[in-house]
A and B are shown apart, each in its own frame.
Chain A
Amino acid sequence: METGKVTVEKVDGKSTVTRCFSKYPLKFIIPTKVGPSKSDAVWIYTLTYGGGIVSGDSISSEFNIGDGCTTVLTTQASTKVYKSLGSKCSEQFLEARIGRDSLLAVIPDPVTCFSTARYSQKQVFRVLSDSNLVIVDWITSGRHESGEKWDFDLYKSTNNIFLDHDQPLFLDTVLLEQGNIAAITERMRDYQVIAMVIILGPKLKHIQTQVQEHVKMIMSEQLQVPFVGLRGHIKSNSSICFTKPPFIASCSLFGPKGMGIVVRIAAMTTESVYKFLRQQLASMELLIGVLPYR
């Protein structure tokens, strides 16, 4: 039994929610007016009662985005996953069908798992060749101020994209589990945030190109052959020679004819990732009515 279900269809030429259902602990808030009147986009805010996900919660939702519609799925604040009681795992499952010439933008705040939390999420997207999709999936290391850094027990996030019902386009699962061969903190070094951004579809080609170029530019400046090992060559700005870059990103094409791009990010601050998302997704304002990640 689903916890939530939303259907968006074109009614009188405008993207309209024709069906909306949610039950505890999930709630949808769908403001009637977001952005200028000429923009055609439905904004859906997902909330959980209590402001977070409690141990043992199981939330599953289904979204159907009809042909030609634009929908944004977002949150009001970061999703907090509270500590696990009795080793119970909390889970979220989302399935979305995106129609012809439609756009679904999943642009939430990050997930923050508290100490000892156990959390698993799975998002399945079914697209057609001219569907458009933006997915941001990210996690912070915990409540840094309290000294919680990668202190949760389990975090698992799956994002699967299928083309034309069953052709696998993108299958990714990230698993961070404590007590493994290497502790999570050690695997993450000093990075406090990991993020993944997927941009797919013909309407977003210009953003894809722009993001690829931007990531290449910022990273090319950061990567350099170390002067240890080079014979006798001392760099004048030796101060940056031994410090890790505070923001690392890489961009890869995926799918037939480079249908989509995926950006992977590791950053030392949450703010730097918000800034990156704001800047790189800014031109989406035309499509969704409002600047994402203001």
Chain B
Amino acid sequence: MEDDMIMDKKRRKTASADFLLQWSQWQLLDSILPTGGFAHSFGLEAAIQARIILGHEDFKNQVIHILENTGSLLLPFVYSATNSPDLDTWQRLDRILDATLTNEVSRKASIAQGSALMRVAAAVFTEVPCLKTMRDACIGSGAVSFHHAPIFGMICGLLGMDSETSQKAYIFITMRDAISAATRLNLVGPLGAAVLQHQLCLVAETVLKKWMDHTVEEACQTAPLLDTLQGCHSYLFSRLFCS
């Protein structure tokens, strides 16, 4: 009888932890979380000004390239961080990513978004106190640049997400932010954007299945034209976005 009560209590505790995980997950993926993702266009703005994107088909293909490049270059960092969400791993991954993001524009964007995300997560997810302690230990010390992908992966890991979900989530937020940037660049209207996002689910899933669970040594870029264009962002005379 007592054994049954203990089992029941354990099951309820696990169930309530699961509930909390789901609410946290949805909040992390909601675009209303103030992480500054809206300031970045993933090279779309530079591509428009270079006349690489002239119409809807070009734009759709560009988003597909952005998704695949995110998969090949950044998913390994999300994967490793989710599996070992500790200070040493975070510092190591951050250092490697800093050398891997050779495009200055995307490197700065990653740092800006990562810093904002860490700050928000430390304040919001108070049931994970080590987020705040790790942040406080690293801020101002120069030991960490606060790159986005490892921080995202680490937060997912600390919240209890598995690595497939965290990698899928990373692809999701990239797709969400790229398409959102496109609406502000007048490439597509809000309804068209929503339609496109749903149409691209299959591509997003293919990207995930292909690039998930790789090591950071295997990280590579698969869209060199996009990388070159994104690097031109600081040459744009008039611009809406930071990157």
Binds B, one of A101-109, A221-229, A279-287: A221-229
Checking B95, B105, B237 against A168 with a beta-carbon cut-off of 8 angstroms, the contacting residue is B95
Checking A242, A254, A266 against B104 with a beta-carbon cut-off of 8 angstroms, the contacting residue is A254
Q: Which of A237-294 contact B (CB under 8 A)?
A: 241-245, 248-254, 262, 264-266
Checking A243, A254, A266 against B228 with a beta-carbon cut-off of 8 angstroms, the contacting residue is A266
Check B229 against A250 for contact (C-beta < 8 Å): yes
* Complex contacts, A262 vs chain B, CB 8 Å: 102
12 more A-B residue pairs beyond the given contacts A175-B220, A250-B231, with a C-beta to C-beta distance below 8 A: A174-B222, A194-B228, A216-B235, A223-B46, A223-B50, A223-B237, A242-B54, A244-B50, A250-B229, A250-B232, A264-B224, A265-B228
Tally of A-B residue pairs with Cβ under 8 A?
126
* With A226-B51, A250-B228 as contacts: A181 and B105 at CB distance below 8 Å: no
Check A189 against B238 for contact (C-beta < 8 Å): no
Check B68 against A264 for contact (C-beta < 8 Å): no
Distance between A197 CB and nearest chain B CB, rounded to angstroms: 12
Closest A residue, CB atoms, query B100: A171
Distance between A147 CB and nearest chain B CB, rounded to angstroms: 21
Main secondary structure of the interface of B (DSSP, over half): helix
Distance between A12 CB and nearest chain B CB, rounded to angstroms: 38
List residues of A whose CB falls within 8 A of some B CB. Answer: 156, 158, 168-177, 180-182, 186-189, 191, 194, 216, 219-220, 222-226, 229, 241-245, 248-254, 262, 264-266
Check B72 against A175 for contact (C-beta < 8 Å): yes
Checking B102, B203, B207, B236 against A223 with a beta-carbon cut-off of 8 angstroms, the contacting residue is B236
Asked whether any CB of chain A lies closer than 8 Å to the CB of B134, the reply is no
* Complex contacts, B224 vs chain A, CB 8 Å: 174, 176, 188, 194, 264, 266
Closest A residue, CB atoms, query B103: A252
* Complex contacts, A173 vs chain B, CB 8 Å: 219-221
Check B104 against A181 for contact (C-beta < 8 Å): no
Asked whether any CB of chain A lies closer than 8 Å to the CB of B210, the reply is yes
Asked whether any CB of chain A lies closer than 8 Å to the CB of B87, the reply is no
Distance between A215 CB and nearest chain B CB, rounded to angstroms: 8
List 14 interface pairs A-B (beta carbons < 8 Å), by A numbering. Answer: A172-B100, A175-B220, A186-B61, A187-B225, A191-B225, A220-B235, A223-B50, A224-B237, A225-B49, A225-B237, A243-B51, A250-B229, A252-B104, A253-B104
Q: Which of B211-227 contact A (CB under 8 A)?
A: 219-227
Checking B51, B61, B100 against A182 with a beta-carbon cut-off of 8 angstroms, the contacting residue is B61
Check A244 against B104 for contact (C-beta < 8 Å): no
Q: How far is the CA of A226 from the CA of B223 in the complex (A)?
A: 23
Asked whether any CB of chain A lies closer than 8 Å to the CB of B119, the reply is no
Q: How far is the CA of A265 from the CA of B223 in the complex (A)?
A: 12
* Complex contacts, A245 vs chain B, CB 8 Å: 50-51
Checking A170, A244, A249 against B51 with a beta-carbon cut-off of 8 angstroms, the contacting residue is A244
